[in-house]
Amino acid sequence: MLQKYNVSTMSKDLAKKACLIGLNELIQFSKELQVSNPSNSMQNAINQMTSIKDDIVNEIPLKHKNVLEKKFSIFNENIIKYQPNTSLKLMQFWNAQKDIMNKVLEKNLPYAPAKKIQQKEKSIRQIREQYLRIARRLEDDLSDEVFLLAFFYVYILRIESLERNILLDFNYLLKQFSLSDKYDVEEIFSNYGKAQSGWMEKEKITKRWRTDARAVRDCLTHNLYELDLSKDPWEIKFDSARKGFEYSQTFDKNTFISFIKDMDLIFQSSKILIQTIFVYNICRIHFL
């Protein structure tokens, strides 16, 4: 990711290298979405980023700042609106990032929205590859308990590698710029709604919240679920009745697959939206 670079002080050669790395990641992600659900709109978004990449490769100066902003706006809009189930969540996340950026510019402060993600980037990539390989097989007609247990394991790794670090970065920024009361982080990153969590201190429960993705992770980790493979499609029930940690949700195979797909889309799209900020700034500073 581009966060490891200082955008304003990098050399022209480094700026070109960093920008192409970022653009390739944006293009690759949008192509994955296009394969899953083809549309003229997403193809247009891909074309916008590809045109910028071609100009940089061929050392052709980019067009006016307003044209550059429009290209990135088209791309971001398509990422946010790609899936109706997740568009509102991603719009809230993007609005928060814009609020943060306004405060950064107002106070002339450094902007580092993904420190934790950057530190864990290699691990996140490796786990995502494992996760996607197994998740794709879930869509086949499989009712193998051992296989499902393997998926549960990589799901736990996925949550620990990506959800945890995205939320740490996001919460830190919101707190730093006094925006915590404006944006509900756990709700933004939940599919069906945030789940109750808590903190035990001297036998007293302090009410807190967690994403529903993490609630599922907690149930899997502590064996608080029932898997019924005799049903067609199979069914899984998560049920944590511990005081302060209540979570109860039943999925069949199809709704569970939908849940994990939407969860992954929210996290990956958020990561990509942050990436667009860095790519845009490199283009604006070095290639206009």
User: pTM of the prediction?
Assistant: 0.88
| pLDDT reported for residue 81 | 96
Per-residue pLDDT at 276 exceeds 80: yes
Provide the sign of the torsion angle of the four alpha carbons 120, 152, 259, 180, taken in this order.
negative
Of 1 and 286, more confident:
286
Question: Using CA atoms, how far apart are residues 187 and 161, in angstroms rounded to an integer?
Answer: 19
Q: Evaluate if residue 206 carries a pLDDT over 70.
A: no
Mean pLDDT calculated for residue range 62-90: 95
Q: Which residues of 68-104 are buried (b: 16+ CB within 10 A; e: fewer)?
A: beebbeebbebbbebbeebeebbebbbebbebbeebb
Q: Calculate mean pLDDT across residues 138-158.
A: 82
What does the pLDDT average to over 193-217? 76
The more confidently predicted of residues 244 and 89 is: 89
Provide the domain count of the chain. 1
Q: Span 249-273, mean pLDDT?
A: 93
The whole-number pLDDT of residue 89 equals: 96
Q: What percent of the chain has pLDDT over 90?
A: 59
Give the β-pairing of 247-252 and 235-240: antiparallel
Q: What is the pLDDT of residues 186-202, one digit of tens each?
A: 999 999 999 887 555 55
Residue 111 has pLDDT above 60, yes or no: yes
Mean pLDDT of 215-224: 91
Q: Are 94 and 80 in contact (CB under 8 A)?
A: yes
pLDDT at 58: 94
- Write down the mean pLDDT value for the chain: 88
Domain range spanning residue 261? 2-286
**Furthest C-alpha separation in the chain:** 66
